[in-house]
Structure 1
Amino acid sequence: MATSRRIRQQKTALNENVKNKRDIFSEKNFVYVTYALIAIIGLILAIGFYIYSFKPPRETLISINENSYNAQDISRELGFYAATQGLSRTPLSESLLLIPQLLQTRFIYTQTQELVDDPSNNEVRLKASQLLKIKQDQYVADPSVLDSVLFEILKISDISSEIIFETAKSLIIQEKLYSIFSKEIPNLTELSFIKGISIEGEALASIFFDEYKNEEKLESLLKKYENDIDIRDVGWRISNTVGLDLPMSMNNEDILKLSEPLQIGRQSIFYYISEKKDNSLVTPDIKNVAVKVRLREFYNKAFVDNVTYVENTPDSNLTNEIIVKAGKIRLAIVASGLESPIQDWND
């Protein structure tokens, strides 16, 4: 009797286990599990897409010696540059082409220690506070204010204090080098007056230049094509140091000698010296151009073997990602400044 009851209980327990297993693998539970897996996969994909969108690809776009800069680095540079240079409303696409030169210049200046003393930590921190528009009296009263601002910027824009201090150090060295070269520019020297000729359309520009090369006098050509060309005054420059914005061949040109054309879109730009004058006063604007030329010549000569500039032109999608990311950084930095009582971003 007891044995029969035990057998029935075992059969009942076995039937219940089978039933429970059937319940677990029922169609209803299968649907629930399927939906849960789909939701988890969707969440993972969404997070991955967000991370990909927020952080552009990390392939190197610009390489200067052993320093490599990818899309994310360039976004930071562009956003930081725009925020600290008063370009809060300027389309970032207009500044994107400046970034390679900014990176190269900063690298060169930070390597130029043989002519100037290495800036002290206090100098670098003070310049960083000026760069971030921290009011001077606030910084002098409490230097830790800079650390607070740097922390906020890192939190909202991924711009580290090292990037800001490196930029500040570069600016200090640039100012010291500028001062050294400025003293070498005489107050009186020979000046050249530069003019520019703009011609719309490659065909007309080619005909104009061919006639000039066939020994047609420039004065005659200017009169012949006066209705088809636009002539503008560039201004006085120190002879042999005419500027970075002009063809380097202009440094040694004679009066009324036409430069090689510079192509800007459909426009061809030619330059020439219309007159020279000896022993003339060098104004601050003229000196500024000359100093910049000499600085450029100096570090090109000093680092021509050390600095290699490589740029892989990114496609339009990557360019858009860089600009969008940079825009977020610019907005975050400017907003942080406007919200802080110790800063005035309208100076």
Structure 2
Amino acid sequence: MDFTPLESDFYGFAHDLTAAEQASLAEIREFMETRVRPEIDEHWHADAFPMHLIPGIAALGVIGPAWAESARFESSAVYRGWIALEMSRVDASVSTFAAVQNGLVCGSIGVAGSPEQRAEWLPRLADCSVIGAFGLTEPRSGSDASKGLATTARRDGDEWVLDGEKRWIGNATHADVVVVWARDDADGEVKGFIVPTSSEGYSVSKIERKISLRMVQNGHIVLDGVRVPESMRLQGASSFRDTARVLRLTRAEVAWSAVGVMVGAYEAAVRYTTERTQFGKPIAAHQLVQDLLAKSLGHITASIALCVQVSRMLDEGRQGDAHSALAKAYTTARMREVVAWCREVCGGNGIVTDFDVARFFVDAEALYTYEGTAQMNSLIVGKAITGASAFA
């Protein structure tokens, strides 16, 4: 399948991808355009995820490409970033589903699981015969998860007993397993557990009335004496540092998703302004509209360049927490500006989902917040700059 770089990839960064990666992206783009785009508004307004599309998403090979057990071909972090961009430029909720399943759930098991756990779970997560969720955030613990995590894990013979609550957990309402991060009562360290959602004492309720990423099924999980065997504890996770290893990988891909949201809003704005006529000509022919479109393209181009480099650093083993934090903070801030400008040039039609921009406008707020707020990521970068921690 032929691959055509996006017009919004103004400097042609995608030309540097391999032929196999470009062909894969072309397949992903066709699926998103022909299968996902026609259904977005219906499911967005219904606050429901298009579950029937999951087998098609799995068939694209976008789940698990970083892990040898399930890779279609040996892939780069740059390529995986382009996957996030291509999916998010059509719909950020579908991209988020894939990001949770791939980066957070497969990532946790890939980074911290034993060889046996990797062999058992990664293939089933990759083909989506098992749906996963990632349980870190709590009702009273988000940015301070390293110190404020309240969910507990108590060893009882060959089992662990988990008690606590998790909130804002994507895929939670339809997941088969959840990777739960809990604090060990014995040593106070954070450990990870693969928890089947069928476990006794496990319950989940859907978070209602969201205005952003409405298709993502976020849940509030309660763990009341949930028992899991020692074999379900992630054998390579002994402290929050191991949790942070997973987040370092996924934070950079959120930056790529933010670029995808910018691209989606920008493309919708270009379509609208070239078709909408005012004062006898398309509004795209007016100077003030062109100024906003040009500034949007500048933000997109700078953000792609940053994301390409931070992903190259990951491929080369040089990416640290501050690098991914800066990428996430910078791109999501630029995203907020771009979606606002794109909504602005669409006038009143920019606040209805019929013209796409409104959906990108509100979905941007969730990306701006999750995987570390702008302020928390700025403090990670600030510590790298100064050597002094400004965290409370």
Task: Provide TM-score, normalisation by structure 1.
Answer: 0.22
Larger radius of gyration: 1
- Of structures 1 and 2, the one with the larger relative CO (CA 8 A, separation 6+) is 1
Task: Provide TM-score, normalisation by structure 2.
Answer: 0.20
